[in-house]
Structure 1
Amino acid sequence: MFLVDVENTLEQLTLDEKVKLLAGQDTWGTFAIDRVGIPRITRYFEQTSDGPHGVRGTSFFNGPRGMLLPSATAMGATFDTNLIHTAGELLAAEAREKKCHVLLAPTVCIQRSPLLGRGFEAFGEDPWLNGTIASAYVNGVQEHGIACSIKHYAAHDQSTMAIEDDVRASERTLREVHLLPFQLAVKNASPWAFMMAYNKINGVHAAEDPWLINTVLRQDWGWDGVVMSDWFGTYSTSESINAGMDLEMPGPSRWRGELLSWAVMSDKVKKPTIDASVRNILKLINKVQPWKDEAEVEGGDTQRKRDLCRKVASESIVLLKNERNILPLDPQTKQTYGLIGPAICNPAVSGGGSADLTPYYISRPLEAIIDVVGSENVKTAIGCQAHLFTPQLLADTSVPDTSEPGYLVSWYKEDPIANPNAEPLASVTTVQAQMYFADNLPEAVPKAYWLQAQTIYTAPKTDTIEIGLCVLGKGKLFIDGQEKIDLYNSQPLKTLQTPMFNQASMEVTTELEVKQGKRYRILVYLQNEAAIAGLDALNCGGLRVGCCEKVDLAAALAEAVELASQVDVPIVIAALNSDFESEALDRTSLALPLAVDQLIEAVVKANPKTETGNAIADILFGKTNPTGRLSLTFPKRLEDTPAFLTFGKGEQEIHYGEGAFVRYRYYEKL
């Protein structure tokens, strides 16, 4: 039974009420109009949630855990629409469990360059593959009453400061390459919502481009869903709604509200235009509401969900070469295995930004391979470090005075260091080591606050470790009561993109000698005030605590080489993590992090027999056949890529000089 009689409700709404519906009330939700029975699009009726590899819910801070699927690029490598349809059904179940009704996914922009920071969110470089896999994904999700907001429409093929980019491309290039995945998804799955891109196309921001929205999407393709902005991706009042963009997100509105009412009264925006957008919103509400009366869905961390994630991961693996038939390995044969590389214990499970979430579990290669061959046959060597920021301190932590993992976070209305007797306004526990306090805070927390986050770290072995801190605001880090890091009185000059959407400070680290089994109290003190006072002195606040073994790179490399020469089967696992691949952060080279390339070369020389998690073990030991296909091209040199001369931030205008010959198409025409 539908909740809203669309046409009757339209007649009853006042102009101000209609305008309210066309912008967010807060970060994730819209306004309710109780008088006519329109529910608020939020937690208890309809809320949006970031994807595309899991359903985070509506909270950056302390949100619920979720099932984390392999990256979209891995999904694309399966070339299996039935499998991705099933993955979409899993995401729908996760969304319903979290009371989410709109999943902000999938991403179908083209991996025009291998340097694209959000490339891991896209299915591949081929528009037909992108659109076909996206269709299966959308159908799997929407068949269970959850809307997909396919993104980012269109040509959102760079991440760093995309708001300023102006893509210059011919209509042929757009229609044959960059619009085609969206067109295929419309034809085969009809996503219920579209999210606009941040960038301009041929001088006009996508979010206010009538050709892109009204001409192509609505008229040429016959699509009739909701068009929404990306978060803070609205740049005008009249232009955006006249172009057909229905919903500005997030709230409170910057460009609508009273400004839109004035635009209507001054006849810059016609009332039928307002009605058309409101009608689209009401129709979306009707599409996603009926499932509320259905039976409960499968919830939580279940074996069926784990099995599906493992299957997607296994079927995405591409075997490039199998010289001398080394694979599959026989676990029954008595031989030793050397696991080499920093990813063996800290696997890269996701890129950063909107795609990030706290997973139910992480499958680590070391544990997975030990499960197959036994710990007595496995030796390890880190070989090098491969991070820009120390890996988040999650393992071996506990909430003070408990055995539960994580941190205790307490907020104060006065400085708890200056006044040790200050009582906290509120306290919560969290398993996050990166805490972005943009939402989901206790009601008692004021706009300006002080905070303490503390955990007990139990050293797993005697060693020298590095502990790192980034803050959004001003902060200090203490270990057993002694100040070790000061980001309160001064902060380093920024030289690279930082966590929390580039809002955090640079990381500062400190060294600590630890003894196996000893417990250390780590406390972070934070004030949500900018380090440099100004008009916008207050911010939402945030912190990130990291920890890793202190590594002498030369000694670590030598250890890895020695291990490789001693074992029967050396296995090097190399990866990029969210430090290098993230929203708002494009890469600058094809190189693997730091000394990883050097590590691989050295190990191969030491033992020429060289080869995540459970899926890797499944392939290595023949449990699963590696059926994945490359969904993108790996060039030998960056200079060989067709977008080499026109990708990056040299100019705000980005000329798509390769035209329709993107990535592999370019090589085929040579």
Structure 2
Amino acid sequence: MTYKELIAQMTLEEKASLMSGKDFWQTKDIKRLGINSMFLADGPHGIRRQQVAADQLGLNAGLPATCYPTASTVANSWNTELGEKVGDYLGEEAVAQRVHVLLGPGINMKRNPLCGRNFEYFSEDPYHAGKMAASYIRGIQSHGISACVKHFAVNNQEERRMSIDTIVDERTLREIYLTAFEIAVKEGRTKTIMSSYNRLNGEYTNENKHLMKDILRDEWHYNGVVVTNWGGSNDRIAGLLAGNELEMPTTAGQTDQDIIDAVNSGEIEEKVLDECVDRLLTLIYSTNDVFERPYKKEVDIERHHRVAQKVAEESIVLLKNEDNLLPLKFGKKVAVIGDFASEARYQGAGSSIVNPTILDHTMACFEESGIVSIGYEQGFERYGKKNRELINKACSLAKKADVVFLYIGLDEVTEAEGLDRKSMKIPANQVALLDALYEVNQSIVAILSCGSAVEMPWIHKVKGLLHGYLGGQAGARAILRVLSGDVNPSGKLAETYPFRYEDTPSYHHFPGDEASVEYREAMYIGYRYYDTANIDVLFPFGYGLSYTTFDYSHLQVDREGVTFELTNTGDVAGMEIAQLYVGCQSKEIFRAKKELKGFKKIFINAGETKTVVIPFDDKAFRYFNVETNQWEIEEADYHIMIGASIADIRLKDTIFVQGTGAPFPYHKDQLPSYFSGQANDVSQEEFEALLGKNVPTAKWDRHQPLGYTDTIEQCQYAKGVVGRLTYYTITFVHWFLWKIGKRNTANLIMMSIYHMPFRGIARLTGGIVNMPMLDGILMMVNGHFFKGLRHVFRERRKKIKKANSHSS
């Protein structure tokens, strides 16, 4: 232990006190020993430092900070150097705001396009997500503070995220859902990891010793801190035994006492607590060190804004460019239509909301773009109400233009933490506007703003399609620079766009059925499914157009990696993203047809040729063997493919790779769907054969009394009238707020109340309600109203009396 002597000076009470928060955002300090607090702040794409007083739901506006493009946007850059620059600037701003731990990046896999938090995540591919995350971490931590990778692990939906049990087989867990975290730990060297809310195969993740000890600590040799998601601690002692040091936010000493009691009773050895304290002290001292030296207390707001613009420019994806309509020819008259042109859609909703220092809007940036605008019309109401008058005005303007710039996408309340999307469609009133515009002017360029994949049955009605994703505070200007040709688009999709939601591999098993969600598609998420099962898609993984063209040639493959030449065969300089895919030719172990194993982004002038080298690493040929319980290499021929996307392979060769000689782990006759890749509707019997055990019951037990881990949603089945009344009141208030346009407030109710387990009432109220009081609330819900009410008041009096005795 690093701080053995310091820990020896601590009382048991002091050690336990460090294991939970001081308030909503700070850790506890011990002044007599010189141990300071740390401040933790949201920040995947911008610092969201709230005042210490914001100690309830923690959803107040943060201090002004640069809002960079979201992770889903920067992922499309495929540029780890750019990712490191984003991290560097985030870290600089964090230090300026005295933030010790920045809660990001988020690296959960995009298992399903409807996950409401996909805008915060990088990719459907773990290798891509891991490499981008590691770059962010290096940038953030270069300033001496800590990044905090989240949410560990298998948190791929928002609905019931605090209670859902994720059922996934071990190989899929390792290869798909943990690989990005492994890269973040080993290559990014993150100092902090945030555990997720959900259960994993029956156990809450922060109590799951297989996840937290066997894999994270023993296999990956992680020696940093694990912090709970806010209110995500269930059994504090089980969490501590699994190596979860820090519980956030404060519980006003409740769980500190649980730890003290557990040590005194022998339930937990004090040396286990000491190890957790030692790791936390390492983080406290390492992140406080920067603030004990002279440091920059102000940032150059304009400079950071320009960096945000550069990042957005490199992350924009050109998806369609019929007749080379873009870049826009000089002198063309443009009609600008769409509410998002007036008020930019630039970030998601929830804990990641940034209060931007500057905010560019399209109409304010037109003059400098050189594009001639003949006017603007709103065209549609932002939140989906149909308005024929707005459509008519837009059509009148469009008739006078050479080209229509149509700004469409998803609104702020559709993509939000705590909620999943209802469909992959954009609002019907926007499609109705497009249909009407198409009748009067067929030269339409759609500019799409959203953080995740959408269906596009309307795409034949636009000649150009530019996807800005969620481009941050400078995204509007960045888009105009691409439209005008000042910037050559170089982004490529880090996720697949299917034709329709029903084509997605997890369609039949998302978001799960009450108590659990079964990952029956196993490793076949995203392109791994579409490519292997030969399912046509709208836009494949890795796809994106440019204003120039590239030629690939002279592939050479050896045991170290690949070398090839890349030539810009067009008229303008540009950047190309070359992608390395590997495909095993053996049929003994089921795999995806192709898997991403490397990528590189290269700037090339017109007519220039560059030599590109992409090395193989330890992940190039491995698979996880459930018989040997370790990573193995299958002896076989492997196709080595270099492509401009998963569907556009330009160069191909084969290499023989010597294996590790492990036994084959599967019986083919038991797993036909997995060996064929047709894994979008796997039977329970076959999934259980893959799991090696029966799946748990997916329905809630409606006959049992509600307990700590049951949710407010389950009050609809409560035995007590007060429980059922609570449920119907919440659902009515949500409906009413949505009806009158208070959609953000309605979403907040769903996120922070409806899906919350009862224990969250104690864990997220800063000690206002403690667990004994919660016992009384549960009595009331379960049909013992007066007994429960007396219990609540009795325990409240005890709490007040105890607090008064401590203060005196």
Distance 1:177 1:154, change over 3 A: same
- Superposed displacement of residue 127, structure 1: 0.6
> 2:441 is matched by which residue type in structure 1?
N
Matching of residues 136-215 of structure 1 within 5 Å: 136-215=135-214
The one of 631, 634, 647 equivalent to 2:510 is 647
Are 1:370 and 2:367 an aligned pair?
yes
Correspondence for 2:33? 36
- Superposed displacement of residue 61, structure 1: 3.4
- Superposed displacement of residue 597, structure 1: 2.1
> Could you tell me whether the CA contact under 8 Å between 1:367 and 1:613 is conserved in 2?
no
> Could you tell me whether the CA contact under 8 Å between 1:66 and 1:300 is conserved in 2?
no
Partners of 2:300 and 2:383 lie apart in 1 by 29
| Residue aligned with 2:268, SS | coil
> Could you tell me whether the CA contact under 8 Å between 2:370 and 2:484 is conserved in 1?
no
Partners of 2:386 and 2:426 lie apart in 1 by 19
> 1:641 is matched by which residue type in structure 2?
T
Moved more, 318-327 or 218-227: 318-327
> 2:405 is matched by which residue type in structure 1?
I
Partners of 1:570 and 1:602 lie apart in 2 by 12
Correspondence for 2:291? 292
> Could you tell me whether the CA contact under 8 Å between 1:47 and 1:58 is conserved in 2?
no
Correspondence for 2:525? 662
| Residue aligned with 1:103, SS | strand
Are 1:21 and 2:21 an aligned pair?
no
Are 1:567 and 2:559 an aligned pair?
no
Distance 1:667 1:215, change over 3 A: same
- Identity of aligned pairs, percent? 33
| Residue aligned with 1:319, SS | strand
Structure 1 residue runs of 5 or longer lacking an equivalent are 389-550
Partners of 2:42 and 2:252 lie apart in 1 by 20
Matching of residues 544-555 of structure 1 within 5 Å: 553-555=387-389
Distance 1:208 1:556, change over 3 A: same
Partners of 1:628 and 1:606 lie apart in 2 by 31
Partners of 2:436 and 2:70 lie apart in 1 by 29
> Could you tell me whether the CA contact under 8 Å between 2:87 and 2:138 is conserved in 1?
yes
**Which is richer in helix?**
2
Matching of residues 58-97 of structure 1 within 5 Å: 58-59=50-51, 60-61=59-60, 63-97=62-96
Correspondence for 2:482? 619
- Superposed displacement of residue 134, structure 1: 0.2
- Superposed displacement of residue 102, structure 1: 0.2
* 1:491-549: CA deviation from partner (whole Å, max 9, x where unpaired): xxxxxxxxxxxxxxxxxxxxxxxxxxxxxxxxxxxxxxxxxxxxxxxxxxxxxxxxxxx
- Superposed displacement of residue 606, structure 1: 2.7
> 1:554 is matched by which residue type in structure 2?
R
Partners of 1:255 and 1:116 lie apart in 2 by 34
Correspondence for 1:607? 441
> 1:593 is matched by which residue type in structure 2?
P
> Could you tell me whether the CA contact under 8 Å between 1:301 and 1:360 is conserved in 2?
no
Distance 1:621 1:256, change over 3 A: same
Correspondence for 2:693? none
Correspondence for 1:383? 379
Partners of 1:8 and 1:48 lie apart in 2 by 27
Larger gyration radius, structure 1 or structure 2: 2
> 1:191 is matched by which residue type in structure 2?
T
Partners of 2:30 and 2:306 lie apart in 1 by 43
Are 1:592 and 2:584 an aligned pair?
no
Distance 1:272 1:649, change over 3 A: same
- Superposed displacement of residue 563, structure 1: 2.0
Are 1:578 and 2:412 an aligned pair?
yes
- Superposed displacement of residue 663, structure 1: 1.1
| Residue aligned with 1:571, SS | strand
Distance 1:629 1:255, change over 3 A: farther
Matching of residues 45-124 of structure 1 within 5 Å: 46-59=38-51, 60-61=59-60, 63-124=62-123
Distance 1:203 1:286, change over 3 A: same
> Could you tell me whether the CA contact under 8 Å between 2:112 and 2:510 is conserved in 1?
yes
Matching of residues 239-388 of structure 1 within 5 Å: 239-253=238-252, 256-297=255-296, 299-300=298-299, 302-330=301-329, 333-373=330-370, 377-387=373-383
> Could you tell me whether the CA contact under 8 Å between 1:93 and 1:298 is conserved in 2?
no
Correspondence for 2:8? 11
- Superposed displacement of residue 384, structure 1: 1.0
Segments ≥4 residues shifted beyond 4 Å:
none
> Could you tell me whether the CA contact under 8 Å between 2:336 and 2:373 is conserved in 1?
no
> 2:41 is matched by which residue type in structure 1?
S
Moved more, 193-202 or 30-39: 30-39
- Give the aligned CA root-mean-square deviation in angstroms: 1.7
Partners of 2:12 and 2:494 lie apart in 1 by 48
TM-score normalized by the length of structure 2:
0.60
Partners of 1:624 and 1:26 lie apart in 2 by 46
TM-score normalized by the length of structure 1:
0.72
- Superposed displacement of residue 289, structure 1: 2.0
> Could you tell me whether the CA contact under 8 Å between 2:50 and 2:60 is conserved in 1?
no
Greater RCO, 1 or 2 (C-alpha within 8 Å, sep 6+): 1
- Superposed displacement of residue 272, structure 1: 1.1
> 2:336 is matched by which residue type in structure 1?
L
| Residue aligned with 2:408, SS | coil
| Residue aligned with 1:91, SS | helix
